[in-house]
């Protein structure tokens, strides 16, 4: 199978997009590590797999560098290596710019940007020793259009810049780094968006539908194998034509 015996870590794996990415890689032969801040949710993700014995569920707070470091160490201890990391964990809140509380700004930046940085850094340390690896970050079309809360758009734009920078630095270590930029996607996070906003977003998508988590998982799979061997440092929009880089 395409990802046979790869060790693949996915953050935000307790639900939605992250959960589907775990399932997709597991079905393609990978040994998967599901990471989430919610212990019950991540355990359910692992238990639902066809071969849960080939998986590991970890509770971690990616906004804490120490927590991320411990999680990566646990992966290496169990599987001996780390081939792929998909940084899917993210948070948001509906705040107008002028009324954004400091604590909301800090939380969104801490999880979405700082957390992605911590995960990239710790994973890359392992991958550099191996001489190979794939880092896949998840941004958002909101970072391209600015149609969203300022903290969320800023954090996701930062992820795109992080990808461009570290892809150059890590290429010599055999590590490829890319970002997927989903458009509006059917996930639990989207369920909190008012229906009026959702319908307006769909009206702006040329393909006429919201994305599904499987759309994102398939692109992650492509970026984590030799099929995409000459692609690194790229921000790849998967948004039905909603916006262009």
Catalytic residues: 152
Q: Kindly tell me the sign of the dihedral angle through the C-alpha atoms of 136, 137, 142, 146.
A: negative
For the purposes of burial, counting CB atoms within 10 Å of the CB of 168, is it exposed (0-12), middle (13-18) or buried (19 or more)? exposed
Rounded to whole angstroms, how far apart are CA atoms 242 and 2? 30
Rounded to whole angstroms, how far apart are CA atoms 84 and 107? 26
Give the ranges where 101-212 is alpha helix by DSSP (H). 102-108, 115-130, 142-145, 150-170, 188-191, 195-203
Are the beta carbons of 123 and 82 closer than 8 angstroms? yes
Task: Count CB neighbours of 174 within 10 A.
Answer: 13
Residues pairing with 70 in the sheet? none
For the purposes of burial, counting CB atoms within 10 Å of the CB of 121, is it exposed (0-12), middle (13-18) or buried (19 or more)? middle
Integer-rounded Cα Rg, in Å, for the chain is: 17
Residue whose token pair is 């639902």: 48
Q: Which residues contact 206 (CB under 8 A, 6 or more apart)?
A: 240, 241, 242
């Amino acid at each position: 199978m395409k990802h046979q015996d790869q060790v693949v870590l996915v953050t935000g794996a307790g639900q939605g997009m992250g959960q589907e990415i775990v399932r997709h890689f597991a079905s393609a032969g990978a040994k998967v590590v599901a990471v989430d801040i919610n212990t019950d949710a991540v355990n359910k993700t692992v238990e639902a797999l066809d071969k849960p014995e080939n998986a590991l569920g970890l509770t971690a707070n990616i906004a804490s560098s120490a927590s991320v470091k411990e999680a990566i160490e646990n992966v290496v201890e169990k599987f001996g290596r780390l081939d792929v990391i998909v940084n899917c964990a993210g948070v948001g809140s509906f705040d107008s710019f002028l009324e954004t509380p400091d604590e909301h700004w800090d939380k969104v930046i801490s999880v979405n940007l700082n957390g992605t940085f911590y995960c990239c850094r710790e994973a890359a340390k392992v991958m550099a020793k191996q001489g190979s690896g794939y880092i896949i970050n998840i941004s958002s079309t909101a970072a391209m259009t600015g149609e969203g809360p300022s903290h969320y758009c800023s954090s996701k734009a930062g992820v795109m810049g992080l990808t461009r920078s570290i892809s150059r630095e890590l290429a010599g270590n055999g590590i490829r780094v890319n970002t997927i930029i989903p458009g509006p996607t059917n996930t639990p996070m989207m369920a909190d968006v008012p229906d009026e906003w959702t319908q307006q977003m769909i009206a702006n998508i040329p393909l006429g539908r919201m994305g599904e988590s499987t759309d994102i998982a398939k692109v992650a799979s492509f970026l984590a194998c030799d099929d995409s061997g000459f692609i690194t440092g790229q921000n790849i929009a998967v948004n039905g034509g909603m916006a262009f880089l």
